[in-house]
Amino acid sequence: MGKTLAEKIFSEHTGRDVKAGEIVLARVDIAMAQDGTGPLMINEFRELGFKEVKVPKAFLFIDHASPSPRKELSNSQKIMREFGKEMGVKVFDAGDGISHQILAERYVKPGDLVAGADSHTCTAGGLGAFGTGMGSTDVAIIFGLGQNWFKVPETIKVVVNGKLQNGVYAKDIILEIARILGSDGATYKALEFHGSCIEEMNVEDRLTISNMAVEVGAKAGLMPSDEKTREFLKKMGREEDFRELKADPDAVYETEIEIDATTLEPLVSLPHYVDNVRKVSGVEKEKIKIDQVFIGTCTNGRLQDLEIALKILEKHGKHPDVRLIVGPASRKVYMDALEKGIIKKFVELGAAVIPPGCGPCVGIHMGVLGDGERVLSTQNRNFKGRMGNPNAEIYLASPATAAATAVTGYITDPRRFI
């Protein structure tokens, strides 16, 4: 019987053939924690009596409150820096960027098992790795032992065929999946992506889709590795990390869903649930006023996302009543955008360009909303209070829809600007 990608990766990391449903002890290639989970992970690491870090690649990221807005958070981040020096763990500090983007740029390779004390560690699936979020205690155990217990998940096969029309992007595909499956439709399962649309898609777009696998409850969102993967790794200066990895033709899936990309329209997720998805063309008629637009995050803060948004805004300008915040996902993205003149153009358009990091997405600083305000964001979550104020509303969409909305001041279909 053939294997899914999840079964293949766990078989490699246990040294034996395993199948979905088994509980296995698997070695981990990469482990990480961020400044919201890192201090607890470090405390658990010490409580458990570990004296050294045994996972091959261990990282700490200061990206959620970066730079720190409060002394309490500064003290927590200080603990992380001290632990990093003591244990020889690389710490990515304020301004370096978001953990998931940095891992994709520098470290993740096809076939890796990646565990992070952050739910969007599933982003690594865009490179053919099994990336999954875990609790701080579980990650502490991985830091100390280099392995942990996992349940090999059942897999849902997602087939996306056809070509996206102008104005429709990878973000719209994952919002459509959220609409179909619901916010808990893939709980403790893996999503595995197939089809001609996925095959033609670059890794940056694949990362966007894998990033939001957890928003339907999935443990991982796995893309086969192919020539597009090789191109990305070569661009990052590490082509030697490439290997082809795909599921067997006779792999067994729990279920299968099919999406015709040619029929998709721009979509928007309305408050306060990610699966509350509607067509932008319909919502546009309601003239929902938007106070703030945020283009960035680990979902859509890559260079091509900034380019897509800028192309619309540069031609049509920003509405005077809209606050526009732009957040590059990493220092590399920021530097590339600087070299291309993208940052300068955003600033000239009236945007606030923030340092690489999570920024407003986690509701700590750099864009907390006022009571009754609405934001359209390219991030991955819109539950009540996510961006720091439970009396505000969060709408989720692609960078193109975000840019079109920043032009008009209300949720707008980007296709009329493309």
Q: What is the pLDDT of residues 313-322, one digit of tens each?
A: 999 999 999 9
The predicted model gives 149-175 an average pLDDT of 97
Residue 90 and residue 160 share a domain: yes
Output the pLDDT for position 418: 86
Output the pLDDT for position 387: 85
The last residue of one of the domains, among 210, 234, 261, is 261
DSSP assignment letter at 270: P
Residue 297 and residue 193 share a domain: no
Residue 277 and residue 251 share a domain: no
DSSP assignment letter at 51: -
Output the pLDDT for position 190: 98
* Residue 376 near residue 397 (C-beta atoms within 8 A): yes
The last residue of one of the domains, among 220, 238, 261, is 261
Residue 393 and residue 366 share a domain: yes
Instruction: Find the helix or strand (DSSP H, E) in which 157 lies.
Output: strand 154-161
pLDDT in tens, 70-92: 999 999 999 999 999 999 999 99
Band (176; pLDDT cuts 50, 70, 90):
very high
The last residue of one of the domains, among 230, 261, 292, is 261
Residue 181 and residue 140 share a domain: yes
CA distances in angstroms from 377 to 115, 172, 261, 295, 410, listed in the order given: 27, 13, 23, 6, 13
CATH code for the domain in which residue 379 is found = 3.30.499.10
Identify the domain containing residue 275 by its residue range: 269-417
The predicted model gives 212-240 an average pLDDT of 97
| Percent of the chain whose predicted confidence (pLDDT) is above 70 | 100
Residues 6+ apart with CB under 8 A from 318: 324, 349, 350, 351, 406, 407
* Total number of domains constituting the chain: 2
Residues 6+ apart with CB under 8 A from 116: 31, 32, 33, 34, 99, 100, 131, 132, 133, 134, 139
For residues 391, 414, 333, 230, the Cα torsion angle rounded to the nearest 10 degrees is: 120
Residue 285 and residue 311 share a domain: yes
The predicted model gives 263-284 an average pLDDT of 96
pTM above threshold 0.85: yes
- Terminal C-alpha separation, the chain: 47
pLDDT in tens, 339-374: 999 999 999 999 999 999 999 999 999 999 999 999
Q: How far apart are CA 350 and CA 322, in angstroms?
A: 10
Output the pLDDT for position 57: 98
Residue 282 and residue 256 share a domain: no
Residue 141 and residue 288 share a domain: no
Q: How many CB atoms within 10 Å of residue 15? A: 11
Output the pLDDT for position 388: 82
Residue 257 and residue 273 share a domain: no
DSSP assignment letter at 155: E
Q: How far apart are CA 45 and CA 25, in angstroms?
A: 19
Question: Is the CA virtual torsion 344, 345, 349, 353 positive or negative?
Answer: negative
Output the pLDDT for position 385: 85
The DSSP bridge partners found for residue 117 are 33
Residue 128 and residue 20 share a domain: yes
Residue 78 and residue 57 share a domain: yes
Band (384; pLDDT cuts 50, 70, 90):
confident
Residue 254 and residue 168 share a domain: yes
Q: In the predicted model, what is the mean pLDDT of the chain? A: 97
